[in-house]
């Protein structure tokens, strides 16, 4: 990480990759900005454009999502620097969220939605070939290889577990790093509700 000083680092704004990147930079005492003049200049791009930029030599480093990261590595277009999971955030959770309006005004539909999510996730965990087929063929239209998928899943996982405490750690880190641009971070227990998740898991059996 110390070698990033003087480099241009690409990331997608607002995603967990941005939060992880800035947490790592802070942890290693590197200043950063999207303008020149700091230790690291951050360049914001969408996920597919990041791959093109580093492959074309327009960026030195990127903080990238899966399976795009594995694609680069498997094509020999990049080298892994670090898996940025040694900050207080750890490995980030990928969460399904719904609006408060939907949660309050259509509770039955909201619960059915959550049950569908839990059931589908459990099916993917139980049947890795089905998960691979859906991700490779339906989501990415055949643009990622079997090896890309396998490598991506070595750096991610399907799960139906999420806690209020995990969200609270993430919220505090967003405030501390400036990613969330919040004058005061909201306490997760005041707005995060996992009751539908727990109901769905109970209804479908542990």
Please give the mean pLDDT across all residues of the chain: 92
68 and 107 part of one domain: no
- List, in order, residues 6 or more apart from 149 with CB less than 8 Å away: 67, 70, 132, 135, 136
* Domain CATH for 59: 3.40.190.10
- List, in order, residues 6 or more apart from 52 with CB less than 8 Å away: none
Of 120, 119, 118, 115, nearest in space to 135 by CA: 120
Q: Is the pTM of the predicted complex or chain greater than 0.85? A: no
Residue at a domain's end among 32, 57, 74? 74
The whole-angstrom separation of Cα 106 and Cα 82 is: 43
Q: What is the largest CA-CA distance in the chain?
A: 55
pLDDT digits (tens, 9 = 90+) for 115-138: 999 999 999 999 999 999 999 999
The whole-angstrom separation of Cα 5 and Cα 25 is: 10
The whole-angstrom separation of Cα 24 and Cα 84 is: 7
Domain count, the chain: 2
41 and 113 part of one domain: no
Question: Range of 106's domain?
Answer: 100-204
User: 152 versus 92: which is more confidently predicted?
Assistant: 152
33 and 106 part of one domain: no
179 and 107 part of one domain: yes
Asked whether residue 184 is domain-assigned, the answer is yes
150 and 187 part of one domain: yes
Position 192 pLDDT exceeds 70: yes
Report the pLDDT averaged over residues 184-196. 89
117 and 70 part of one domain: no
Torsion of Cα atoms, 11 then 85 then 27 then 8, to 10°: -20
Of 194, 169, 171, nearest in space to 184 by CA: 171
pLDDT band (50, 70, 90) for residue 206: low
Asked whether residue 80 is domain-assigned, the answer is no
């Amino acid at each position: 990480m110390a070698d990033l000083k003087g480099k241009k680092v690409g990331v997608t704004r607002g995603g967990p990759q941005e939060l992880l990147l800035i947490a790592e930079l802070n942890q290693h005492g590197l200043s950063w900005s999207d303008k020149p003049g700091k230790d690291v200049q951050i360049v914001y791009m969408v996920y597919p454009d990041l791959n093109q930029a580093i492959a074309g030599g327009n960026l030195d480093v990127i903080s990238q999502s899966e399976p795009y990261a594995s694609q680069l590595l498997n094509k020999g277009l990049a080298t892994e620097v670090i898996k940025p999971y040694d900050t207080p955030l750890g490995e980030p959770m990928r969460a399904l969220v719904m609006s408060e309006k939907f949660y309050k005004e259509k509770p039955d539909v909201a619960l059915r939605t959550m049950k569908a999510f839990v059931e589908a996730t459990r099916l993917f965990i139980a049947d890795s070939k089905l998960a691979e087929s859906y991700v490779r063929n339906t989501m990415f239209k055949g643009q990622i290889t079997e090896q890309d998928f396998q490598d991506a899943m070595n750096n991610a996982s399907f799960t139906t577990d999420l806690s209020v405490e995990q969200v609270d750690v993430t919220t505090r880190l967003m405030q501390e790093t400036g990613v969330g641009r919040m004058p005061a971070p909201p306490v997760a227990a005041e707005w995060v509700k996992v009751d539908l998740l727990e109901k769905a898991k109970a209804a479908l059996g542990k």
